[in-house]
Structure 1
Amino acid sequence: MAFALAQSISRVSFRVAARGADALLVELDRMLLRIGLVGEFDLPDQHSVAAQVRLYIYLGFGAEAAALLNAMSADEKDTPLWLAMAQIVDGEEVSENAFVGMAQCDTSAALWSLLATSVDEVEMANAAATAAAFSALPRHLRLALGPQVTDRLLALEQPDAVQGIVDAMERGTMTVQSATLLVASELDLHTGAVDTAVANAESAFDQGGVAAPDALVALVRAKVASGSTVERDLVVALAAMIDEYAGSAIAEDLAAAYLLALIGSGQYAAAMSSSDGPVPPVFWDYLAADGTDDELLQFAFVAPPIEISTASAGKIAQRLLSLGFNDAAREWRVLAGSGLPETIMENDDGGPHAIAGAPLPSTDATNENPDTARHPAVPDDGARTRRWQQDWEAIAQIESDPWNDLAVQITAPEDAADEPPLAEATRLVAGSKATREMLERLLRATAEQ
Structure 2
Amino acid sequence: MRGAALAWLIALLGLSGGPAAAETFRLRSGEHANFSRLVLDDLPEGGSWTLGRAGSEYELRLALEGAGFDTGQVYRLIPKTRLLSLEDAGQSTLRLRVAENHHAIAFETETRSLVIDIRAGPPPAGSRFEDPVEPQSAPVLASAPAGTSYRPAARPPPRLELFWGGGLATDGSDASPPPAVSPLAPSLPDPRVVQAEADLMMQLGRAAAQGLVEIDVPDPRALVVPSADAAPVEEDGAAQSAAEGPEPSGQAAPAAAKMAEAAPAAPSDPAGHLAVHSETSIDRAMADQSEKPGVTSEGETCLPATAVDIAAWGDDRAFSEQLADAQTSLLGEFDQPDPAAVERTVKLYLYHGFGAEARATAAAFGLKGDSAALLLTLAEILDDGHADRPGPLAGMADCDTAAALWAVMAEPRITPGATVDHGAVLRAFSALPLHLRRALGPGLVERFIEAGAPDTARAIRDAILRAAGDHGPGLQMIDARLDLARGDSAGAEAALGAVIEDDGPLGPEALILLIDTHLAEGRPVPPPLTAAAAALAFEHRDSPLGKPLARAQVLGLASTGAFAAASEELARTGPRWAAEERRVVARELARMLTDWPDDAVFLARYFADRDLFDRADPPVDLRLDVAGRLLDAGFAAEASLALGPARMVAEGRMIAARAALIERDTGQALALLAGMVGAGPAALRAEALGLAGDHAAAAEAYRRAGLPERAVAEQWRAGDLEAVRGSGTEPQRAVLALDPPQDTTGTEASPAPDDPVSLAGAQALLEASRAARDAWSALLAAPGPVTTVPGALPGPGDAAPGIQLPELSSSGS
Q: TM-score, normalised by structure 2?
A: 0.36
User: Paired residue for 1:79, among 372, 391, 398?
Assistant: 372
Measured in 2, the distance between the counterparts of 1:31 and 1:112 equals: 27
Residue number in structure 2 paired with 1:160? 455
Residue number in structure 1 paired with 2:604? 298
User: Paired residue for 2:445, among 136, 141, 150?
Assistant: 150
User: Paired residue for 1:56, among 331, 349, 366?
Assistant: 349
Q: Which has the higher strand share?
A: 2
Q: Note if 1:101 corresponds to 2:395.
A: yes
Q: Note if 1:278 corresponds to 2:587.
A: yes
Q: Retained in 2: the 8 A contact 1:139–1:169? A: yes
Q: Note if 1:287 corresponds to 2:578.
A: no
Cα displacement (A) at 1:208: 1.5
Instruction: Specify every segment of 5 or more residues in structure 1 that has no aligned partner in the other structure, as ranges.
Output: 345-351, 370-449
Residue number in structure 1 paired with 2:256? none
Cα displacement (A) at 1:162: 2.1
Residue number in structure 2 paired with 1:362? 806
Measured in 1, the distance between the counterparts of 2:464 and 2:590 equals: 34
Closer, same or farther: CA 239–41 of 1 in aligned 2, 3 Å:
closer
TM alignment of 1:17-416, pairs within 5 A: 17-23=311-317, 27-28=321-322, 30-31=324-325, 34-37=327-330, 49-69=342-362, 78-91=371-384, 93-94=387-388, 97-119=391-413, 123-172=418-467, 174-175=469-470, 177-190=472-485, 192-272=487-567, 274=569, 277-280=586-589, 283-284=592-593, 287-288=596-597, 291=598, 294-299=600-605, 307=621, 342=788, 354-355=799-800, 357-359=801-803, 362=806
Q: 1:85-114 CA deviation, whole Å, 9 max, x = no partner?
A: 122212263557112222111110111122
Closer, same or farther: CA 342–180 of 1 in aligned 2, 3 Å:
farther
Cα displacement (A) at 1:171: 4.5
Closer, same or farther: CA 215–61 of 1 in aligned 2, 3 Å:
same
Deviates more, 1:102-111 or 1:34-43: 34-43
Q: Give the % identical residues.
A: 28
1:254 maps to a residue whose letter is: L
Instruction: Specify every segment of 5 or more residues in structure 2 that has no aligned partner in the other structure, as ranges.
Output: 1-293, 571-581, 640-650, 656-677, 681-786, 791-796
Q: Retained in 2: the 8 A contact 1:110–1:129? A: yes
Residue number in structure 2 paired with 1:423? none
Cα displacement (A) at 1:81: 2.3
Q: Retained in 1: the 8 A contact 2:356–2:383? A: yes
Q: Retained in 1: the 8 A contact 2:516–2:552? A: yes
Residue number in structure 1 paired with 2:685? none
Q: Which has the higher helix share?
A: 1
Q: Retained in 2: the 8 A contact 1:198–1:223? A: no
Cα displacement (A) at 1:77: 5.8
Cα displacement (A) at 1:133: 1.1
Closer, same or farther: CA 95–367 of 1 in aligned 2, 3 Å:
same
Task: Answer 1 or 2: higher relative contact order, Cα 8 Å, separation at least 6.
Answer: 1
Measured in 2, the distance between the counterparts of 1:309 and 1:199 equals: 37
Measured in 1, the distance between the counterparts of 2:470 and 2:804 equals: 58
Residue number in structure 2 paired with 1:402? none
SS in 2 for 1:255: helix
Cα displacement (A) at 1:364: 5.6
Cα displacement (A) at 1:29: 5.4
Cα displacement (A) at 1:286: 6.0
**Across the two proteins, how many residue pairs are aligned to each other?**
347
Closer, same or farther: CA 7–97 of 1 in aligned 2, 3 Å:
closer
Q: Retained in 2: the 8 A contact 1:217–1:257? A: yes
1:202 maps to a residue whose letter is: G
1:287 maps to a residue whose letter is: W
Q: TM-score, normalised by structure 1?
A: 0.61
Deviates more, 1:36-45 or 1:233-242: 36-45
Q: 1:357-416 CA deviation, whole Å, 9 max, x = no partner?
A: 3445836697999xxxxxxxxxxxxxxxxxxxxxxxxxxxxxxxxxxxxxxxxxxxxxxx
Cα displacement (A) at 1:57: 0.7
Measured in 1, the distance between the counterparts of 2:415 and 2:347 equals: 28
SS in 1 for 2:587: coil
Closer, same or farther: CA 201–22 of 1 in aligned 2, 3 Å:
closer
Cα displacement (A) at 1:23: 3.7
Cα displacement (A) at 1:220: 0.5
1:222 maps to a residue whose letter is: T
Q: Retained in 2: the 8 A contact 1:284–1:308? A: no
